[in-house]
Amino acid sequence: MAIFAEARLLSISSRLLKNKSIRNITLVAAGTAGAQLINVAFTPLITRLYGPEAFGILGTFLAILAILTPLAALSYPIAIVLPKNDKDAARLGRASVWIAVVTSLLTVLIILLFKTQLVQLFDLQTVEPYLLLLPLAMFFTALAAVASNWILRLKLYKVSARVAVLQSLGTNLAKVGAGLLNPLAAVLIVVASVAIFFHGAMLWLGIRRQPRIADPAAAEAGEGASSTRELLSRHKDFPFFRTPQIVINSIGQSLPVLMIAGLFGPAAAGLYALPKAVMGMPTMLIGRSVSDVFYPQFVENVRDGKNAHSILLQACTPLLALGILVYAPVVILGPWLFGFIFGSEWYAAGEYARWMSFWFIAILASRPIIAAIPVLSLQGVFLLFEIGALMLRALAIYAGYTLTSSALGAVAAFSLMNVLVFVLLTLLVLRRAAKLKSPG
């Protein structure tokens, strides 16, 4: 009986290793895991160097950057995976870069002309000295997005994994080295901005070393099936629907840190920002690895007429179970874990983490759902959905704060509302997938 069970296990393992999607997910996960392990190893030291206030200012800066980033290239980099022709994809990449140049320069101009008004209107006094770094970070993010989606298109998962580890190591070493000399919020912000640049640069270097037509500049020089104008028009749902959707979603996700910073100060915002970053590590490790492989594979499956509804269910169900397993210890021991690992001043952050665990389980389980949206032509519907979700998130924060008069109450209400939002989105996408014609 034992011999039979062992043989059965070896057979299953052999089939899994032969499955190309499983191998690719494992490869991406290995790179992301290496990067996240480096982050985990350095974070206790970094939190003891900088403290909650510095993390709160960094969190506010990154929250604003998250809102502006989708505007940089109008979400066209996401469309690079879709064309059948490499030359068409390369033209989309080139157009994305030029769009990012224009939007970044416009952002510089707006900040220079209306800096005082923006600071007063949005209560941005804590990040006022760093506002001009935002357009530069926007441009770096757009370049990295073009490179990342080109890598997904060509399925260069080894390059992505290697760069993830190198970027994580370099970023954390820079934070520690600079923090030992001068542990200020400015250091964290500058390092974070420069890290985005190096991430994109290393991705491009890895792409150009590949033997296939992997250099967008070289591919674009040839004669493609469509002109740049035709491609931008064909994928206009990305700037018209996906970009506003991502901006609205970013506003919704950034509301807690911005509101907490305004109501309670940067230290309280730091108590939220740290668990958000730490709790996002498993989601980044598992969810992004699955999503990066799932997106191009799902495109091919839909083209081939395969059952999209069944594919999505098979992708989401194990992620839900895995999310519950990963985040259960935080729900039970959150405050003690944060106080022990990051220092006693971070004990309260563990209370935030408990409630945020439910939110991150929902994020992890729905990663294939998000990846399927452009493939199922749901960009417009998704935009309307995000508008409604933003109102629900804002209402949840207000209700939580009003009822409890505490930042923790606002975070708890926000987290539970996010669970509801992701459940509704999952049902919406599954319904659309079920309407696709199944293979006969």
- pLDDT recorded at residue 40: 82
- pLDDT recorded at residue 225: 60
- pLDDT recorded at residue 51: 83
- pLDDT recorded at residue 24: 66
Q: pLDDT, tens digit, for every residue of 132-185?
A: 999 999 999 999 999 999 988 888 888 888 898 999 999 999 999 998 988 889
Helices H, strands E: what count in the chain? 17, 0
For the CA atoms of 110, 113, 117, 119, what is the dihedral angle to 10 degrees?
60
CA angle 309, 86, 381 (to 5 degrees): 35
* Residue 371 and residue 362 in contact, taking contact as beta carbons nearer than 8 Å: no
pLDDT tens across the length of the chain (440 residues):
444 434 443 444 444 445 566 666 666 667 777 887 898 889 889 988 998 888 889 988 998 999 999 899 999 998 898 888 888 989 999 999 999 999 999 999 999 999 999 888 887 888 899 999 999 999 999 999 999 999 888 888 888 888 989 999 999 999 999 989 888 899 999 999 999 999 999 999 988 887 655 555 555 555 456 788 888 888 888 888 888 888 888 888 788 888 888 777 888 888 888 898 888 877 777 766 677 677 777 877 777 778 888 888 888 888 899 899 989 999 999 899 998 888 888 898 999 999 999 999 999 898 888 888 888 888 788 888 888 998 999 899 889 988 998 889 989 999 999 999 999 999 999 998 888 754 43
Q: Quickly count: other Cβ atoms within 10 Å of residue 403's Cβ.
A: 11
Name 187's Cβ contacts closer than 8 Å, sequence gap at least 6: 50, 175, 178, 179
- Residue 28 to residue 285: CA distance in whole angstroms: 9
Of 138, 151, 133, residue with least CA distance to 100: 138
Residue 228: burial class (beta carbons within 10 Å; 0-12, 13-18, 19+): middle
Q: Quickly count: other Cβ atoms within 10 Å of residue 316's Cβ.
A: 21
Record the pTM.
0.73
412 three-state secondary structure: helix
- pLDDT recorded at residue 375: 82
Distance between alpha carbon 406 and the CA centroid of its chain, in Å? 28
* Residue 275 and residue 256 in contact, taking contact as beta carbons nearer than 8 Å: no
- pLDDT recorded at residue 8: 45
